[in-house]
Structure 1
């Protein structure tokens, strides 16, 4: 990895940080490549139990780096093709990861920067953080998964309101359910390192399916997931520990 994304692992936690503070962590094509590499590495590393996604400096991300598009290409630039090659590819990878992903929003999260935070399992923010989906202000529609994740988090009406580009602070974000809390979530991250796999990943997948599939289908997913989880080493270890504790009483 080069220096546009920083990657480190400590105490079973992989931290992925966009490292372009000079442009408020705006995301260009090279940053996308490094983010994809970082998340792929964290996914494969069996010593990593939790992934924390953040930014360097005083910003999470100001979104897509439009200044990286050559001026002569602006009139013919295919935003749809760019999405497929960058954000959509990254989002589908994040969706596949069974491990908990926590966004720590250490400053502004704007446009596609906010969209990427929405794709994480949990979102915590610095008290001075701010949030905005600014796409309409430049004549574009919200993208990078915002149309999928945001209504699920805050409801359709509030998602449409945020989609107009209104800027909100941490207290408002907490009130509407956009974030889980403020301050760096040390204790929560530590607890998440003990989340059993593959059970956590299947829980995440089944709950997302519950928004669209029928009760009958979701019940079938739970049967399938429980069958697989019941055979996992994590379940066997937890069951053995429970039985030993019960015998001591």
Structure 2
């Protein structure tokens, strides 16, 4: 097990190829701050660059996942009179964008309240598992502010435009059953079992899937599914499939299946991701400049 101690508002640990990133302000119900946003982005950078990490689990310490922006902290990281610079990024988006750019799958394990930024930072995760007592709310209009974390892009893709309009225009808080029924949450578990189930899912991914294949598939879905034609997708598919004869993992996948044994993947992330992908080389720091 490895754990970092330099963070002040989150914790980061790696056990059995699973990186756990934990919001760690339980006394403030994990209220979201500028510091937390930047620490999350840094931790996600670290997990994505570490070829020994296969899956990230994002969770929160204490009763609630996150009640959203900690208004008691006040202000932003720019001078109020001068305003934000051209490249300033709002805090929730620093996290949700970094998850979007990930090559590793991210599982959000959400217990208790996930309100405002506390839910928008998870919308780009691959899975959202929630406790049966979880509560959600896109409450921005009830505070006179605006949706953030690129949630106006992510949310309709997850639950449909009609449900997204209802939740965002009303700003109402809703329960775990409604979230699961609409597709915001993949699965519900009793609070006491939630983190175990998240790790169980992470281990299934690690044990049964090829890391480079997962990385490419994750980005194919995000980058290509919104195009207005399948033709560019087919063109990229053709390039990927055409390279399978020289792909060690694809050979291993077939051989291990025929031999009825667990596969032994040798390609690593990020080192062995094809360099010709349209999004190759993107990362958080390049996006900021």
Q: Structure 1 residues 214, 124: closer, same or farther in 2, change over 3 A?
A: same
SS at match of 2:40: helix
Report Cα offsets for 1:178-232 as digits up to 9, x if no partner.
1010122243222111321211122122222212341111212322333456644
2:136 equivalent to 1:131: yes
The 1:80/1:60 distance shift into structure 2, 3 A limit, reads farther
Is 1:233 aligned with 2:239? no
Q: Aligned pair 1:18/2:31, yes or no?
A: no
What does residue 44 of structure 1 align with? 49
Q: Cα distance 1:75–1:3, how it changes in 2: closer, same or farther (>3 A)?
A: closer
Segments of structure 1 that go 5 or more residues without pairing to the other structure are none
Equivalence for 1:207 = 221
1:56-106 Cα distance to aligned partner (Å, 9 max, x none): 1011111122222259x9975957979615333333322221111000001
Q: C-alpha separation between the residues in 1 aligned to 2:85 and 2:134?
A: 29
Pick the aligned partner of 2:111 from 82, 89, 106: 106
Mapped contact 1:55–1:106 kept (Cα < 8 A): yes
* Equivalence map 1:130-149=2 (5 Å): 130-149=135-154
Structure 2 residue aligned with 1:167, among 159, 170, 173? 173
Tell me the distance in 2 between the aligned counterparts of 1:28 and 1:56. 15
Query: Is 1:182–2:182 an aligned residue pair?
Result: no
> For the structure 1 residues 162 and 70, does the alpha-carbon distance in structure 2 shift closer, same or farther, using more than 3 Å as the test?
closer
SS in 2 for 1:61: coil
**Contact 1:199 1:229 survives alignment (8 Å):** no
Alignment pair present for 1:198 and 2:203:
no
More helix by share: 1
Matched length? 245
Distance 2:60 2:160 in 1: 27
Matches of 1:19 and 1:235, distance apart in 2:
40
Match of 2:124 among 112, 119, 123: 119
CA shift in 2, pair 1:3/1:146, >3 Å: same
1:48 deviates by: 1.1
Q: Gaps spanning 5+ residues in structure 2: where?
A: 1-5, 262-289
Aligned partner of residue 205 in structure 1, secondary structure: helix
Q: What is the rounded CA distance, in whole Å, between the counterparts of 1:151 and 1:221 in structure 2?
A: 26
Provide the rounded CA distance (Å) in 2 between the counterparts of 1:157 and 1:107. Answer: 25
1:116-152 Cα shifts (integer Å, max 9, x gaps) = 1111010000111100001111111211121111100
- What residue is the counterpart of 2:268 in the other structure? none
2:20 is paired with a residue of what secondary structure? Answer: strand
Query: Which residue pairs with 1:5 in the alignment?
Result: 10
